[in-house]
Amino acid sequence: MRWTEAAALLSFVMTASAPGQTPQGTPQQPPQRASSPGQNAPPAPALPQTPAPQLPAAAATPLKPAFVVVLDAAHGGTDTGAHLGNNLEEKDVTLAVEWRLRSELLARGIAVVTTRSSDAAMTPVARAETANRAQAEACLVIHATATGSGVHLYTSSLAPGPMTRPLPWRTAQAAYVTQSLKLESEIDAALGHAQIPLTLGRASVQPMDSLACPAVAVEVAPLVGGNVTKSRDLSDADYQKSVVDALAAALAAWQSDWKH
Amino acid sequence: MISRAHKILFLVMLLACVIMAAALIRLRNRAQDRLQEQAGSAPASIAEESGNPVHTVTLYVPNDLDGSLITVERSIALPSDKNAQARVLLESLIAAFHAQGSTHPIGVESGINEVYFLPVPGVPGQPPQRASSPGAPGQPSGQGEMAVVDLNGALSAAQPSGIEPETLTLLAMMATLHANLPEVTEVHFLVDGQPRETLAGHADLTRTYLASETNPEPAPEAAQ
């Protein structure tokens, strides 16, 4: 038996012997959604009761989609985030934006992994674990705030570092900073095209520094009225949609650009 | 029947009441103006009363609308003690936060408990004490001093929550310290003397920041 077949068999047996534990999550975490295009969170298959048959490696090892995006809706549960006025809390806005963006990306044929799908509290470590397990080509950390105008884009303030194996947990993002800046530039162009004012910067916000993927924090602020723009509230569905459309367009462009 | 004397007495007392009310209103307005003037220049006036020399300092005031730091020159009296200098600098900065027309409003009168200075570790021959990989947060620069800024819990509570407003608050403090006290190369933040994960839910306070991250040029007339 070749080593790949042996590894596949071992993986299958371990899955069968750990009921309730999915490959995408640990028992302490809420279930994660790993959605592929045309696949809408199918129910988990029933576990076999008979001894595990020897499956060919290709059938037992799930294939990773060619391009995966991780969406991290910040805050959740008792961690409400910022109070945005009118009984609006940051954790709800981030989840709403995440849901809209997830749908847009799936419609464009892009696989999506989300760190939370409900109003559940998650530690930064658990979020980074989920994101890093997905081996994504882009990670967006979604925030919202009541101050400023338009969208604020932040990349990690870490200095670029070499790609080492294993990556140090607290500074994993250092190896991806250059790519993160390119992704930020892609989003910058898309938001500019949509005439949404934006601010670029570097910041130290968890779990950004632990993400092993090109990562950008997207902070959505209300739209302050100006010469070109009309005043828009964070709860405005049209405003959320225009931001989400621009982000989806940027990620679609990144799908063809990220290897270069 | 009310006598004429009683009528005159009543009118005199009524007139006295009106005059006293007018005087009280005038005194109240004067006191209010005086308090407002003191609130606008509290750190400077406190320092001036102590007879300290006046320096021109550079404050970096955040602009939330475009995420920038605006340079503001102020003449304030600085005490000779470096810890007190740093505290006065940061209190002046916080006073600018809630000045009229500020786009970074934090409604707190005093936000700094104390500022301490430590030599930066990283002497040759000694292993680094915090992080070891390039670009690591808190990686010692090996020179200069680290300012440990103990923020007031009231400042943390009044800080608007969000990546941009919180990051701007920290950057403004780091830039102001580095511009006026160039030997400050690293800054670490505490809240009420204790380590805190974030300032108000976003900006990481567990790491040590390099003052160079703000890229301010040292002020021409740095306080010594």
List CB contacts (< 8 A) between A200 and chain B.
67
Best residue in B65, B104, B161 for a mutation probing chain A (most A CBs within 10 Å): B161
Which of A105, A35, A115, A103 has the alpha carbon at shortest distance from A72? A115
Residue B185 confidence (pLDDT): 92
> At residue B61, does pLDDT exceed 50?
yes
Check if B131 contacts A (Cβ < 8 Å): yes
Residues 6+ apart with CB under 8 A from B56: B73, B74, B75, B219, B221
- pLDDT, residue A80, reads 93
Phi, psi for residue A174 in degrees, rounded to 5: -55, -35
Distance of CA A42 to the CA centre of its chain: 20
- Please check whether residue B165 touches A, CB under 8 A: yes
pLDDT digits (tens, 9 = 90+) for A50-98: 444 444 444 445 566 789 999 999 999 999 999 998 889 999 999 999 9
Q: What is the rounded CA–CA span in Å between residue B191 and residue B97?
A: 19
B11: tokens are: 């009118």
Peptide bond between residue A48 and the one before it cis (omega within 30 degrees of 0)? no
Instruction: List A residues 175-204 in contact with B (Cβ-Cβ < 8 A).
Output: 177, 199-204
pLDDT band at A222 (very low <50, low <70, confident <90, very high): very high
Looking at per-residue pLDDT, the higher value among A9 and A80 belongs to A80
Cα→Cα distances B197→A143, A216, B33, B192, Å:
17, 20, 40, 13
Alpha-carbon gap, residue A187 to A200, rounded angstroms:
10
Long-range CB contacts (within 8 A, 24+) of B28-31: none
In the predicted structure, residue A1 carries a pLDDT above the cut 50: no
DSSP labels, B41-89: THHHHHHHHTTPPEEEEEEEEEETTTTEEEEEEEEEE--SSHHHHHHHH
Chain A residues whose beta carbon lies within 8 Å of the beta carbon of residue B201: 75, 79, 81-82, 90
Which residue of B163, B167, B186, B204 is the best one to mutate when testing the A interface, meaning the one whose CB has the most A CBs within 10 A?
B163
Closest CA to B195 of B160, B164, B156: B156
Sheet containing strand B112-119, edge to edge, reads: B112-119, B145-151, B184-191, B209-210
pTM for this entry: 0.72
Look at residue A167 in the predicted model and tell me its pLDDT.
Answer: 87
pLDDT of residue B133: 37
- Within an 8 Å CB–CB cutoff, is residue B134 touching chain A? yes
Q: How far is A206 from chain B (nearest CA, A)?
A: 7
Measured between alpha carbons, how far is A49 from B60 in angstroms, rounded to an integer?
67
Beta strands in A127-197 (DSSP E): 138-144, 151-156
CA atoms within 13 A on the CB side of B145: 16
Residue A240, helix vs strand vs coil: helix
Please judge whether A152 and B164 are an interchain contact, meaning their C-beta atoms are less than 8 angstroms apart: yes
How far does A1 lie from chain B, in Å, by closest CA? Answer: 41
Q: Render pLDDT for A104-145 as a digit per residue (tens, 0 to 9).
A: 999 999 999 999 999 999 999 999 999 999 999 999 999 999
- CA distance to partner chain B, nearest, from residue A199 (Å): 6
pLDDT interval class at A8 (50, 70, 90): very low
Nearest to A60 by CA among A19, A15, A18: A15
Nearest to B162 among A147, A160, A162 (CB): A147
The CB density around residue A11, as the number of other CB atoms within 10 Å, is 16
Tell me the mean pLDDT in the region B3-20: 93
Of the given ranges (A53-62, A250-259, B179-188), which has the lowest mean pLDDT?
A53-62
Interface of A with B in 118-147 (CB under 8 A): 143-147
Residue of B68, B166, B202 to mutate, interface with A, max A Cβ within 10 Å:
B202
The pairing of beta strand B54-63 with beta strand B184-191: unpaired
Whether A221 has its CB under 8 Å from any CB of chain B: the answer is yes
